[in-house]
Amino acid sequence: MKRTLFFIMLIICNLEAFNQNSSILFNRVNEPKEGALSMLVPRGWIIEGGAIRLLDANIAGANNMVDCKFDITVKKDAEGSVMIRWLPEMLCIDQSQAWGNPEGAVFNNCLVRRKRDPLTFIIQVAVPYAHPGAMNLKVRSSKPLPKLVSKYQGMVDPAVKMVTNMSYQAVLAEFTYDENGRTYLEKMVTVIEDYGMNGGGLWKNKETFLIRSSLNDMVKWEPVLNVIQNSGIWSLKWITGEINGQRQRSGLIAATQKELQEIDNAINENRKNTYSEINKDMYLTLTSQNEYTNPHTGKVETDTDNWKNRWINASGDIIYSDNPVYDPNRDPDLKVSGFKLSTPRK
Instruction: Specify whether the CB–CB gap between 91 and 202 falls below 8 A.
Output: yes
Least confident residue range of 11-20, 132-141, 148-157, 197-206: 11-20
Parallel, antiparallel, or unpaired for β 110-112 and 91-93?
parallel
Residues 6 or more apart from 197 whose CB is under 8 A from it? 165
**Are 186 and 104 within one domain?**
yes
Instruction: Specify whether the CB–CB gap between 75 and 45 falls below 8 A.
Output: yes
Q: How far is CA 106 from CA 91, 101, 109, 192, in A?
A: 11, 8, 6, 20
At 200 the three-state DSSP class reads coil
**Are 276 and 305 within one domain?**
no
Q: What is the pLDDT of residue 103?
A: 95
**Are 210 and 230 within one domain?**
yes
Sign of CA dihedral 253, 255, 257, 258: positive
Does 127 fall in a domain?
yes
**Are 57 and 99 within one domain?**
yes
Looking at the predicted structure, is the pLDDT value of residue 2 above 80?
no
Looking at the predicted structure, is the pLDDT value of residue 6 above 50?
no
> Where a domain ends, among 232, 267, 282?
282
Q: Answer whether 0.95 is exceeded by the pTM.
A: no
Q: What is the pLDDT of residues 269-328, one digit of tens each?
A: 777 788 888 998 998 887 778 899 999 999 998 888 888 999 999 998 999 999 989 999
Does 1 fall in a domain?
no
**Are 39 and 160 within one domain?**
yes
Looking at the predicted structure, is the pLDDT value of residue 159 above 90?
no
Does 3 fall in a domain?
no
**Are 222 and 326 within one domain?**
no
Does 256 fall in a domain?
yes
**Are 32 and 56 within one domain?**
yes
**Are 175 and 227 within one domain?**
yes
Mean pLDDT of the chain: 87
Does 244 fall in a domain?
yes
Start-end of H helices in 156-217: 158-164
**Are 247 and 313 within one domain?**
no
Percentage helix, strand, coil for the chain under 3-state DSSP, each rounded to 5: 30, 30, 40
At 302 the three-state DSSP class reads strand
- Of 40, 81, 77, 47, the closest CA to residue 220 belongs to 81
Instruction: Specify whether the CB–CB gap between 322 and 306 falls below 8 A.
Output: no
Q: How many domains does the chain have?
A: 2
> Where a domain ends, among 245, 267, 282?
282
- Confidence at 234, pLDDT banded by 50, 70, 90: confident
**Are 277 and 296 within one domain?**
no
Amino acid at 75: K
Bridge partners, residue 203, by sequence: 92, 194
Q: What is the pLDDT of residues 86-120, one digit of tens each?
A: 999 999 999 999 999 999 999 999 999 999 999 99
**Are 272 and 320 within one domain?**
no
Does 229 fall in a domain?
yes
Q: What is the pLDDT of residues 315-335, one digit of tens each?
A: 989 999 999 899 999 988 888
Residues written for the chain: 346
Does 318 fall in a domain?
yes
> Where a domain ends, among 236, 260, 282?
282
Domain of residue 115 covers: 9-282
Q: What is the pLDDT of residue 22?
A: 66
Instruction: Specify whether the CB–CB gap between 87 and 208 falls below 8 A.
Output: yes
Looking at the predicted structure, is the pLDDT value of residue 257 above 90?
no
User: What percent of the chain is predicted at pLDDT more than 90?
Assistant: 56
Least confident residue range of 53-57, 245-249, 250-254: 250-254
Does 92 fall in a domain?
yes
The larger pLDDT score, comparing residue 149 to residue 5, is at: 149
Q: What is the pLDDT of residues 11-30, one digit of tens each?
A: 333 333 333 346 888 888 88
**Are 258 and 139 within one domain?**
yes
Instruction: Specify whether the CB–CB gap between 149 and 139 falls below 8 A.
Output: no
